[in-house]
Amino acid sequence: MQIAIIGFGEAGSALVTGWGEAHGTIRAYDIKTEDAAQADAMRARYAALGVQGCASSAEAVAGADLVFCTVTADQAVIAARVAAPHMSQGAYWLDLNSCAPSSKREAAGVIEAGQVRYVDVAVMSPVHPKLNMVPLLIGGPHAGEVAPLLEALPMSLRVVEGEVGRASSIKMIRSVMIKGIEALSAECALAAVAAGVTAEVVPSLSNNYPGVDWDAQMGYNLERAMVHGARRAAEMEEVAKTLTDLGLPDGMTRACVDWQRRLADTSAEPPEDPRAAGAAAVADLLLAEIRKP
């Protein structure tokens, strides 16, 4: 099978790293190659992983049997519109983006209009360290037929019965809690360090949530937002859309978007091992910039 990847950031790179060289040449396209400041780094990533970098989405998807779309959430529908006219009939478009169900259905409409088979894919944990074996939920009318092809690559997945968007509903609604805890822990850690009470506050959290090393977890949560906050903010925008589509308020989720963006916009360099560094060390790196008007 010919494989193409649209968007070659953390997720796309992780898949290729996990598969290794067993599946021949994989074509890839990332919009960063159109930015002079980022193009060389992206081409170096292609070369390091043995991927054929393409000058356009059209070039990457032409003749491909499986196309994995791993762009940022806000670009998912756009990526589908750009690629759809150039894909082969009967190919599969695997949408791994963290999007609201309504966004997935919009992308599916674009893809299916060209007689390409759309598959809703929800990535249920960070891609590192599991790489290609990160747990996936896949859904939509073509999920059952594509499952054996993905398992043979290999990939780890479970088919979710129902229409396009059901798998993503699970991912999005889960993120209300997962990303919400991340944002709250960041706010708590920064405030505790600013007030000089970290040694009292952070250990006390284990009284309510035993078994969690909150010092290590807060350090990790802060580092993740510093490195991936822009992407996570885009995902949480889609979570907010999921909630409003359900007729529910989205205030907590909108606050998470704000925190992810604030942390991503800082110029502080995170420590190499944030869990070992702990909450206070990572928060100290951020406080001066967070307090800027």
The arithmetic mean of pLDDT across residues 172-190, rounded, is 94
pLDDT for 195: 96
Specify the pairing of strand 135-139 against strand 26-29. unpaired
- pLDDT per residue over 113-155, tens digit each? 989 999 999 999 999 999 999 999 999 999 999 999 999 999 9
d(CA 2, CA 12): 15
pLDDT for 263: 92
pLDDT for 271: 93
CA 184 to chain CA centroid, nearest Å: 20
d(CA 41, CA 141): 38
Token digits for 287? 């406080």
d(CA 160, CA 136): 10
Q: Describe the crossing of helices 251-264 and 166-195 by its angle, rounded to 10 degrees.
A: 60
pLDDT for 251: 96
Strands (E), 54-187: 66-69, 92-95, 117-123, 135-139, 156-160
- pLDDT per residue over 232-272, tens digit each? 999 999 999 999 999 999 999 999 999 999 999 998 899 99
pLDDT for 32: 96
pLDDT for 24: 80
pLDDT for 89: 95
d(CA 282, CA 270): 7
Token digits for 26? 């994989």
d(CA 167, CA 275): 31
Q: Is the per-residue pLDDT at 6 higher than 80?
A: yes
Residue 84 banded pLDDT, cuts 50, 70, 90: very high
Residues 6+ apart with CB under 8 A from 125: 134, 135
- pLDDT per residue over 8-48, tens digit each? 999 999 999 999 987 788 999 999 999 999 999 999 999 99
Whether this prediction's pTM lies above 0.85 is answered by: yes
The arithmetic mean of pLDDT across residues 64-93, rounded, is 96
CATH superfamily placement of domain 170-290: N-(1-d-carboxylethyl)-l-norvaline Dehydrogenase; domain 2 (1.10.1040.10)
Q: Is the per-residue pLDDT at 293 higher than 80?
A: no
Residue 92 banded pLDDT, cuts 50, 70, 90: very high
Instruction: Report which of residues 158 and 267 the model is more confident about.
Output: 158
| Ranges of each domain in the chain | 3-164, 170-290
Q: Over the chain, what is the mean pLDDT?
A: 95
Q: Which CATH number fits domain 3-164: 3.40.50.11540, 3.40.605.10, 1.10.1040.10, 3.40.50.720?
A: 3.40.50.720
